Structure 1
């Protein structure tokens, strides 16, 4: 019987990944700083200076280890963030939350809308986004969701706030432009509660383009040159409202990126991101890493373990009654080109 070399190589790579992840997480349990330095060097080829962090990636790594505010977990949770945003008076920028599920088995496929976004709440890129549910295999969908629900996303890239999130599944309304395309992402970088610049992610269907602008919409040449558009995009008409909402949501944090869409002239929240690209960004050039690092002033001391206070609005119900809590079919695979509706990365 011939040996399938491709299969054997795949198994070998998987075994090596499993061994690496096991070793990294063992080290992380003993010394998060050492584990972060190992992973950082493996991903970027650079030494991570946590004693005197200077560039953007280094400062985000410092915050991840030494300023792990419990409120970050609430705001990174794709369900709980609805509560936080509402409590800050910004509920008008929320997408329609159609249902919340504790298990894939609660989803009733026949009752799902034709177009939808299913997202696991405890990580990134755990999304099934479709404009036509009949193109998906319901059983494959359920199996994929079960796999994601069993994963500890925070252990993959050492982002501990994700591991404090209760895994759930949310069903959101599908977002698209009038021409049926994915809307552009406007990622607002907020430092110590103030918006400072905007990253625009466009043309996902043809090939991702990334451009940066200051608040006066002057181009900032801080992304990799090959990612920039030949002609810079115009600012969205709702940019002032985007910036105002972003600063309201960013107020408690040394850094957060507020990801928004332009939904036909109205801002719509994608997510709040505290560790963009796992705090190992490869979209920024060296000048960009230094520039953003200079904008971020780190706290004078590590954060203590105090719990965050969430306003009363956090307790109000958010979703319509779930579509029904009875068995569904299993995990589907989404169209990768459309998985960005969650605003990841």
Structure 2
């Protein structure tokens, strides 16, 4: 039986004598197996994991050549699962997509059907990818946090405020009535953060230089931390009695130097967030919130739209800490 082969373009990362180089290549996908789908990708987005994969981080991607892209939204062109049919619009984020399974920086992906969910009603494909894994992560953080603290309990601080997770978290929290403090190292983005809903801006170096004590004066009822390291340490130490913190990143550092005092003397809760393997049934709940009560005004969220040829420059900006908001990748090459 002749295989149905699809040829297409992809952003490929190759390992050549220990060096990692990226370029646009022609690649192909052959016929699918039972319970798999092939999706024609209309949009992807750039995340920190994608940037790490593109420079050969073996903690993210073990084998090369490889196509990064942990986000993909598009239309099913082949299906061997009862859950989806050809023509369905779907979102695929996380799981192994873009890590060791070729990801959304290619015009087609082949994945297990259980990794996909239907694009919610009242949401376009472009709107969904502006949200992407960053928004899913922010949504999970907010969902966990709001079960433990209310707007009346006090301020919620968000670190990495101009990044994808941080900016979307600020927007949702403000929409839900919380008073939000944004932590940033970018003085120039103060007005942008206030437009998102931050009522107060805390400079990164200020919180990094808090006194090195086991406990600090209570400042926050809760927090969403995207950075880790000393910033998370000082947030924990500065959280009020019975406050809660969600932790979803380690860009600053994976290490924490703490005593147990915030946890046993103040009853502070530290909640780890794993959006990569978050169960589909709970993902659907988060995505439906984005389509309804968390509906985003996309004019407020900073994002840029690029094609595959522009991707390497954006990766360099992200790795140097100079990116802002979200970067979405148009696989149709039809830019505004």
Q: Which TM-score bucket, shorter chain as reference?
A: under 0.3
TM-score, normalisation: structure 1? 0.24
Structure with more strand by fraction: 2
Structure with the bigger RCO (C-alpha within 8 Å, sep 6+) is 1
TM-score, normalisation: structure 2? 0.25
Structure with more helix by fraction: 1
